[in-house]
Every structure is written in structure tokens, then in C-alpha cells.
Amino acid sequence: MGDDPHPAPPPKLRATGLTRGFGRGRKQLHALGPVDLDIAPGEFTCIVGPSGCGKSTLLRIAAGLLRPSAGRLEIRTDSPRPAAMIFQDYGIYDWKTVLANVRFGLDIQRVPRKEADAKAYDWLGRMGLADFAGAYPAALSGGMRQRVAIARALAVEPEILLMDEPFAALDAQLRTIMQDELLELTQATSTTTLFITHSLEEALVLGDRVLVMSARPGRIIAERRPPFGRPRTGDIRDAPEFTALKGELWELL
């Protein structure tokens, strides 16, 4: 008791008894919860679980796109920086050029045109899309479209990054590059990140904390803090502790 000289900062995101069903009456499907979850500022949290376990439902509620049937979700923001989301299905605009897609969030923030263009080009370059600024998304492959969506989300330097299997459509080599890039970026900017994946390996590479969800009944059944410090790169895959933790959690999935 008494005054804690180092009080923990209040969580950036807090879920309390978060529950969601779909449909009505006897046909109601229980999709999520109850889930209790605190995410600290700057923390990189991964949620891993099998298909259909409620991961996207949780993220959609966090993004304000879906209401919970019960419980609460609170996001504490103390700056005008937006929360950004990247979804499985990319959500980029087919009628805007690649450059305009990446600039979209910056335009909403009223970033001056020149600065917005410079930032958008910078992100396109990092994503290996510099030559496609003037192209329309229809001309791009699935992986390239996903990189446009990632560039668009990161360009606004969000306070909270919500990502739903953002690298699922990328080939293995590019996925590794993107994982390292995302780690570096979120660490450099202390971005609070909620990252959803069905890959245990990806969750362990990225997460300060890994939460495992079970298919039934859509709850968090395990929580681990991988013992890999920061700064961190994907090289931790080669560590024996990594393999051990992967084996342990694999049993739960």
C-alpha cells in the first residue's frame, strides 16, 4: 500500500467482460468472450488463435466498427493521433491511385499537401511500391495491395495500431521483412499495437505479450511474455527459448 513511486501508466486499451454474439434466439452464435484485457501504452500485444475463434470480432469492436453484446471497451487517447486499422481484406479504395490511398489518412488529418506527398512517397518506398504511386489498386497483386494498406495505416503515425492478419497474403520472404520493419517502427515510435494472427510463430516474433484464444467459447486461455528483450528482430526465431515456447503454446491450439 502507500504511494507507489513508479505507478503503472493507465492502459491505452481496456476490455471488460467483452462479449459478442451474432443472430437471435436459439440460433444465436456466441462469437467472443467474455474477454478482459488491458494493453499498456507502447505495448505490442499479439492475439493468436484458430480460425473462427473471434479474433476479428474483437478487433472490429476495438476499432469501433462493431458493438459488443455485453461488456465495455475503452480506449484512452491523449493526443489527436488517430487509431489506425489494417484489415484482412485490406479495405483500400479501388478508385484512388496508390499514392492517394496512402495519403488518405494524412488528408483527413489536414497534413499540408507537400508534406503528405513526401510522407506517402517515403512509405511507398519502404514498402517497395515506389514505382506504383500512380497505379490503381486493380493493377496490383494481393500482396502489393496489402502493402498499400499497411503504408496507409503507418503513414498517419497512429497512437494505436490495430492489425488483423496484415501479412497473411505476403510470401514468406516479404513477411519476414515486414515483421522486422513493423517491430522497428513500433519500437521507435512506442506505438501501442494489437496484432492478430493465426500464426503462432509470428505472434512470438512480434509480441511483448502473446494471448492465445480458444475456438470455444472465444476466450483468452493463455498469456505469455516471450523472454526476448528489445530492441528485437526476427532473429530470435533461432533461439532455443523460442522453439520451447512455441512447442508449449502449440499444445494449446
Binding site for Mg ion (CB under 5 A): 55-56
- Please tell me whether residue 197 binds ligand ADP under the rule CB under 6 A: no
> CB–CB of 19/33 below 8 Å?
yes
Query: Taking CB within 5 to 8 Å according to partner kind, which of ligand ADP, Mg ion, none is near residue 137?
Result: none
* Residue 51 interacting with ligand ADP (CB under 6 A): yes
Query: Could you say which of 13, 15, 18, 31 contacts ligand ADP (CB under 6 A)?
Result: 31
Specify burial of residue 148 (Cβ count, 10 A radius: 0-12, 13-18, 19+): buried
CA distances from 116 to 83, 119, 120 (A): 18, 5, 6
Task: Kindly state whether residue 55 participates in binding ligand ADP, applying the rule CB under 6 A.
Answer: yes
Nearer to Mg ion, 100 or 168 (CB): 168
CB of 32 to ligand ADP, least distance (A): 7
Query: In angstroms, what is the minimal distance from the CB of 53 to ligand ADP?
Result: 4
- Amino acid 140 reads L
Give the DSSP H/E element, type plus range, for residue 244. helix 240-250
Cβ(36)–Cβ(213) below 8 Å: no
Among 13, 46, 53, 86, binds ligand ADP (CB under 6 A): 53
Q: Is 57 in the site for ligand ADP (CB under 6 A)?
A: yes
Q: Which is nearer to ligand ADP, 56 or 191 (CB)?
A: 56
Instruction: Choose among ligand ADP, Mg ion, none what residue 31 binds, the Cβ cut-off being 5 to 8 Å by kind.
Output: ligand ADP
Which of 104, 136, 97, 12 is CA-nearest to residue 62? 12
Q: Do residues 191 and 40 make contact, with C-beta atoms less than 8 angstroms apart?
A: no
Contact flag: residue 141 with ligand ADP (CB under 6 A): no
- The pairing of strands 192-197 and 44-48 is parallel
Among 52, 71, 82, 143, binds ligand ADP (CB under 6 A): 52
Closest CA to 155 of 130, 126, 135: 126
Note whether 22 binds ligand ADP by CB under 6 A: yes
Contact by Cβ (8 Å): 75, 12: yes
Of 48 and 83, the one with the shorter C-beta distance to ligand ADP is 48
Point out which residues bind ligand ADP (CB under 6 A): 22, 29, 31, 49, 51-57
